[in-house]
Amino acid sequence: MRLLDRYDAFICDLDGVVYRGEPAVPHAVESLTAAAKPVQFATNNASRPPAEVADHLRSLGLDIADADVATSSQAAAWVLTRHLEPGAAVLAIGGEGVATALRDRGFRPVFSASDEPAAVVQGYGPQVTATDLAQAAYAIQRGALWLATNTDHTLPTADGYAPGNGALVLAVGAAVGRGPELVAGKPDEPLYLMCAERLGVAPDRVLAIGDRLETDIQGAHMAGMDSLLVMTGVHDIRDALMAPAESRPTWVAADLRALHVEVEELEPARAALRAAWEGADTGAGPASAAELPSELESLLR
């Protein structure tokens, strides 16, 4: 049995898994296309509307619809449907993707605390200003529900790491004296659970694929999903060896070609990781990046 045959659908991270910046990750497009399974492409990036992300994926050769892309802005609006009535005013902080997601769920985006919003959705946008953050703080202090699309502290760019939405959330938190009541994106579970709902598949029948342990893999754990860590992005097998319990992947592989590999071929690496984790947890032998089991050496990059 191939790995893909164990699951009914996939939730796939984007940057570091499908593409790196603009270009496709080697083997990603071909592997996903040949898998012929339902996929939701889930991203913590709240600024871009799904159609824009989908256009990027189609340019790489993937045959997908706009609805196959799920953003943390959409997850935030999805969460708000459980807290607010349709038509409620919501302060939209962030890029175009935030306001679009709110409108699509029947909410009324506003941009000033003077509009008396019932909630604040705070997401990243390159044009977010100190004035925007102040409006969020004013609304929250007046009782508005505060929901962050995601709390990534950094944002990778061509020039290095820039402050991400999590850094801006901390700025608002410094003004109001606390953090948001709710977070929609990874590693919190709403984004993944919204994707499972769209797919019409129970979470335990979904494989979540990512390259970051503390977001993609931990998010899968929170949502009750199995996960696959691929070595094409941020984290490598040494990081997986040292991962805390809540960020440990079900499977590890070099890249997305693993979807088409027989499970028996993936089991030695899985067993080696489990043994290392068990040793670390029991004190019998600490997991150490310097003590890489031979079964995992092929995953070095």
Instruction: Determine contact, residues 108/90, Cβ cutoff 8 Å.
Output: yes
The yes-or-no answer on residue 13 being catalytic is yes
Residue 39 amino acid letter: V
Closest CA to 246 of 187, 171, 182, 291: 187
Among the listed residues 13, 68, 152, 216, the single catalytic one is: 13
Q: Report pLDDT for 288.
A: 62
The yes-or-no answer on residue 15 being catalytic is yes
Which residues are known binding-site members? 13, 15, 186, 211
Separation of alpha carbons 192 and 222, rounded Å: 9
Q: For residues 149-170, b (16+ Cβ closer than 10 Å) or e, as one string?
A: bbbbeebbeeeeeeebbbebbe
Instruction: Determine contact, residues 45/33, Cβ cutoff 8 Å.
Output: no
pTM, two decimal places: 0.93
Among the listed residues 15, 132, 188, 216, the single catalytic one is: 15
Separation of alpha carbons 200 and 116, rounded Å: 36
Q: Report pLDDT for 282.
A: 76
Question: Are 3-44+187-299 and 73-183 the same fold in CATH?
Answer: yes
Angle at 48 between CA 47 and CA 52, to 5 degrees: 175
Which residues are known binding-site members for substrate? 186
Q: Which fold has domain 3-44+187-299?
A: Rossmann fold (3.40.50)
User: 30: how many CB neighbours lie within 10 A of its CB?
Assistant: 14
**145 Cβ neighbours under 8 A, 6+ residues apart:** 80, 83, 84, 118, 119, 120, 181, 182
For the chain, 301 residues long, give each residue's pLDDT as a single digit of tens: 999 999 999 999 999 999 988 899 999 999 999 999 999 999 998 888 899 999 999 999 999 999 999 999 999 999 999 999 999 999 999 989 999 999 999 999 999 999 999 999 999 998 999 999 999 999 999 999 999 999 988 877 668 788 999 999 999 999 999 999 999 999 999 999 999 999 999 999 999 999 999 999 999 999 999 999 999 998 999 999 999 999 999 999 999 999 999 999 999 999 999 999 988 777 655 566 667 888 888 887 6
What is the sign, positive or negative, of the torsion defined by CA atoms of 11, 57, 214, 236? positive
CATH superfamily for domain 73-183:
HAD superfamily/HAD-like (3.40.50.1000)
Size of the chain, expressed as the number of residues it contains: 301
Q: Report pLDDT for 158.
A: 65
Q: Report pLDDT for 289.
A: 60
Distance between terminal CA atoms of the chain?
A: 27
In the chain, domain spans: 3-44+187-299, 73-183
Q: Report pLDDT for 160.
A: 78
